[in-house]
Amino acid sequence: MQTEKILITGSNGQIGTVLSDRLIDIFGLDNVILTDIAPNNHRRGIYEKLDILNTAHFQELIGDYKITQIYHLASLLSASGEKNPMRTWDINFNGLLNILELVRKNNIKKLFFPSSIAVFGDTTPKVNTPQDVPLLPDTVYGIGKVAGELWINYYANRYGLDIRSLRYPGIISHESMPGGGTTDYAVEIFHYAVKKEKYTCFLKEDTVMPMMYMEDAINATIQLMQAPVENIKIRYGYNLGAFSFSPKEIYNEILKYFPNFEIEYKPDFRQQIADSWVKRIDDSKARLDWGWKEKYSFEEMVADMILNLRKRYSKETDTEKIDLVY
């Protein structure tokens, strides 16, 4: 049996950091190639600096390492994407097209493309959002995800490629920080609570969005990629959910652990993005087709985040600087 050789783009990112480690655990240190445009931030693994728009270098890595699967995570997120729409389009969309062609020409066996709740827009039903709905996103990030879904679906159908995709909700993790997303507040808030600092939230208190704990997001990704091909009925991004909450709801849950924790609300441009997304997602197709089921409830996620961040901050001599500037 041929050993799988996996290449991950954007391996330094919020999901990439954690997924890289899980893939190394599954496939072995020598079989997972971590890439990113930024310098290596991994504790272990083979690392190659890669600009996904540099097709020649990408091709070289595929050839040198005999890559059989790609997890393409490199992208700018919804909020930072709005700062420079043209550059965001170039990285998020042209980057994907580059990879689709490389996958086709090199007979790569499997490609994972992360889609997002950012595909949804003002014309989408906001509650229990079904899989197939009108998509009219407000952000260049969302437009890139919709276009990306259409193109992966086209490549899967036209060339018979095995491309799989999830519409991730906001992801909460104690292991890695998000950077430039609209759901980032749901991670930041924990760091402020554990450091006993007041948090200023950039969204209104009643803004509900779908969210998920990182361990579940990683499990869903691996489960989707390992599912028998006949179970994959949707190529353009499965709806994926776990729970939904507002800033006020998560604040109230954190108060159970830190009764003196304070919050204030100063909505900025990200409020409009959040308002255009949906509140609760119907992911019954993922549950039916390949057995998706989350492990963590909202309350369990909060408890686990606090447990892990308490451990982490108590170990650190200097208080970590959280870079939260957009």
| Active-site annotation holds for 199 | no
Residue 67 in the binding site for ligand AKB (CB under 6 A): no
CB nearer to ligand AKB: give 148 or 178: 178
List, in order, residues 6 or more apart from 158 with CB less than 8 Å away.
none
Minimum distance, C-beta of residue 183 to ligand AKB, in the bound complex (Å): 4
CB nearer to ligand AKB: give 45 or 178: 178
Which residue from 17, 31, 69, 78 is in contact with ligand AKB, where contact means CB under 6 A?
Answer: 78
Tokens standing for residue 11: 């391996």
CB nearer to ligand AKB: give 31 or 244: 244
Positions 112 through 141 that interact with ligand AKB (CB under 6 A): 116-118, 141
CB nearer to ligand AKB: give 35 or 78: 78
Q: Where are the alpha helices (DSSP H) in the chain?
A: 14-27, 55-65, 78-81, 85-89, 95-105, 140-159, 185-194, 214-226, 247-255, 270-276, 284-290, 298-315
User: Beta-carbon neighbour count of residue 122 at 10 Å?
Assistant: 12
For the chain, the distance separating the N- and C-terminal CA atoms, rounded to the nearest angstrom, is 47
Residue of 47, 65, 71, 141 marked active site? 141
Residue 241 in the binding site for ligand AKB (CB under 6 A): no
Give φ, ψ of 265 to 5 degrees.
Answer: -115, 120
Residue 281 in the binding site for ligand AKB (CB under 6 A): no
CA distance 148 to 234: 14
Comparing CA positions, the residue from 291, 166, 169, 306 lying closest to residue 242 is: 169
Cα distances (Å, whole numbers) of residue 263 to 45, 253, 254, 309: 39, 13, 11, 19
Minimum distance, C-beta of residue 170 to ligand AKB, in the bound complex (Å): 5
Count of residues interacting with ligand AKB (CB under 6 A): 12
CB nearer to ligand AKB: give 45 or 81: 81
Residue 181 in the binding site for ligand AKB (CB under 6 A): yes
Q: Which residues are catalytic?
A: 141
The contact set with ligand AKB (CB under 6 A) reads 77-78, 116-118, 141, 168, 170, 178, 181-183
